[in-house]
Amino acid sequence: MVPMRTRMLRPKLKPVVTAFCAGLAFAAISLPGVANAQSVEVRPFVSATVTYSDNVGADAQGGDGDLSLEVAPGVSVLRNSGRFRGNLNATVRNVAYMSETDRNDSFLTLNGHGQFEAVEKTLFIDMDASMSRNNRSAFFGRAAGDPQDISSDNATRMFGIGPRLNFRLGPETSGTASYMTRWMSGGGGLDNRRDSELNAQVSNPVQFGRVGWGLSYSRSESDSGRAGTTGSSSEETMRGTLYVTVTPQFRLRGIVGHERNDYDTASDDSSSIVGGGFDWNPTERTTISGTTEKRVFGRGYDFMFNHRHALSNWNLSYSRDISSSLELLGADVFRDPEFRLLYDALERVIPDPFLREAVVRRLLGYPAIGPRDLFLSNARFVTRNLTGSVSLIGVRNVLTLSLQQSERSRLGAEVTGNPQDDFARFDDVKTRSATVALSHRLAPQTSLSASLTRSRSTGSGTDGSETERTAFSLALSKQLGPNTSGGLTYRYQRSEGLSDFIENVITATISVSF
């Protein structure tokens, strides 16, 4: 496939994403059935925040303290039924500093996913978008998700859209075919990139009673619009699966196939795929599944355990596969089993969907908008993720322990020309983190939350370095009226290693929804 010309790889994402934002909100409001309050929630709001930081520049020597004011209008949209379904959070942040006025800025942040049902139960249009300013390095600067990190060098924009076809070939044979194109651009040396991915699969797990089959094919094309970087690359994978249903609750899978990619610029890599797995549902509340395969990069894994109890939620997952930053940016938080389990479990305790999302994000260590595990690089990489969490749910308390380990190994040539890309300095990046979080309801309209996170990032390759981080937060929030809420937050963070600094932050916020 001939790479697209550079001028076609530099789309003007800002108006495209803005149009997506407006279109998503408009569609959610205007499509039939919106009169049902349970099917759609649209909440415009405006918030005002006053923040004091004693080290606004995250300086190793202590830096300077400064006071900032932020006024942020926005909209949250959630629609769970009808022909259009999706969620959107969009905010225009306007930040002004009292002393360091060169930091003043206005910018849009958003995260949204949606699908439009063009033909009933058959043809869908999938779309997603995100705009954020987030530190890309695990070793320098502030931790990921820090709201004080508003440099335009950390800006990242992504927009994706594509059709998806669901079909049936008889009562038990079903399949899907989809094509998704995503564009990514940003500041600070991040590539303008376009990724296109074709996926098709058809299966009948009970074709011969207890024995069934499945076929799948995927192909991805990636093009970079920046000279001197990884350029264009592609990946192609084919699989055949044999299903054996041992019991109604337990099924085995045998897998054979072939894959090829050219992420190594010196030559193409190809290999056969041989593996197997199982799916087990011992109870209605418990799901266990596992897959292991011999792949072109070595051994691949995908293991997941979910258990939901009346007063607790348990989640454990482990995976090793090829990934990219665009795939991470396109990840919907509601598709994360760890997030979804706790979000659903708290529905009775916190019926407001937007407040419930905010609480779950705090408990699991997610930023206010976007995914938790955000690793931005111009290169493809093999990623190994281990994540576990347990949440204990009481009448007034939710206590969560979350552990995460990610290890990423660069594929292809060394990254050049991007000092914010960790793969410009290291071949492998490993991060471990542990978070303990508590949410306590002091009164029907007042809640207190606290969290403590410890993390360590280690880079290896030509050089070896590490950075350790500690972050603590304590927040008091109160519903001041039917549409007005307020909060007071104290945050402390310390970074040691390649980035050394200590910071104390006090934030007061008032928000009005309409």
Q: Is 191 contained in some domain?
A: no
> pLDDT tier at 63 (50, 70, 90 boundaries)?
confident
Domain limits for position 443:
6-186+197-224+239-513
The answer to which of 284-293, 328-337, 470-479 has the lowest mean pLDDT is 328-337
Q: What is the pLDDT of residues 98-136, one digit of tens each?
A: 998 999 999 999 888 899 999 999 999 999 998 988 887
Residue 447 has pLDDT above 80, yes or no: yes
CB 433 within 8 A of CB 401: no
Q: What is the pLDDT of residue 336?
A: 79
Q: In the chain, what percentage of residues exceed pLDDT 70? A: 89
Q: Is 41 contained in some domain?
A: yes
pTM comes to: 0.82
Cα 475 to the center of its chain, rounded Å:
24
Beta strands (DSSP E) in 331-416 are 381-393, 397-410
Closest by CA position to 474, among listed 442, 431, 434, 426: 442
Q: What is the pLDDT of residue 225?
A: 57
The answer to which of 3-7, 84-88, 130-134 has the lowest mean pLDDT is 3-7
Q: Is 148 contained in some domain?
A: yes
Q: Is 487 contained in some domain?
A: yes
Residue 231 has pLDDT above 70, yes or no: no
Q: What is the pLDDT of residue 329?
A: 76
The count of domains in the chain is: 1
Rounded to an integer, the average pLDDT of 73-100 is: 89
Count of CB atoms situated within 10 Å of the CB of 435: 21
Q: What is the pLDDT of residue 262?
A: 85
| CA 276/CA 11 separation, integer angstroms | 41
Amino acid at 114: G
Q: Is 230 contained in some domain?
A: no
The answer to which of 68-72, 137-141, 201-205, 208-212 has the lowest mean pLDDT is 137-141
Q: What is the pLDDT of residues 165-191, one digit of tens each?
A: 999 998 899 999 999 999 988 877 777
- Per the document, the length of the chain is 514
CB 282 within 8 A of CB 249: yes
Count of CB atoms situated within 10 Å of the CB of 92: 15
Q: What is the pLDDT of residue 440?
A: 92
Cross-strand bridge partners of residue 122: none
Residue 42 has pLDDT above 90, yes or no: no
> pLDDT tier at 417 (50, 70, 90 boundaries)?
low
Out of 71-75, 150-154, 333-337, give the one with best mean pLDDT. 71-75
Q: Is 208 contained in some domain?
A: yes
CB 133 within 8 A of CB 104: no
- If you average pLDDT over every residue of the chain, what do you get? 85
Q: Is 446 contained in some domain?
A: yes
Count of CA atoms in the C-beta half-sphere (13 A) of 508: 4
Region for 379 from its dihedrals, namely left if φ exceeds 0, alpha if ψ lies in -120 to 50, beta otherwise: beta
Q: Is 213 contained in some domain?
A: yes
Residue 247 has pLDDT above 90, yes or no: yes
> pLDDT tier at 266 (50, 70, 90 boundaries)?
low
> pLDDT tier at 17 (50, 70, 90 boundaries)?
very low
Give the H or E element holding residue 104: none
Q: What is the pLDDT of residue 267?
A: 63
Q: What is the pLDDT of residues 458-512, one digit of tens each?
A: 999 877 889 999 999 999 999 998 899 999 999 999 999 888 999 999 999 999 9
| CA 326/CA 12 separation, integer angstroms | 17
Q: What is the pLDDT of residue 82?
A: 79
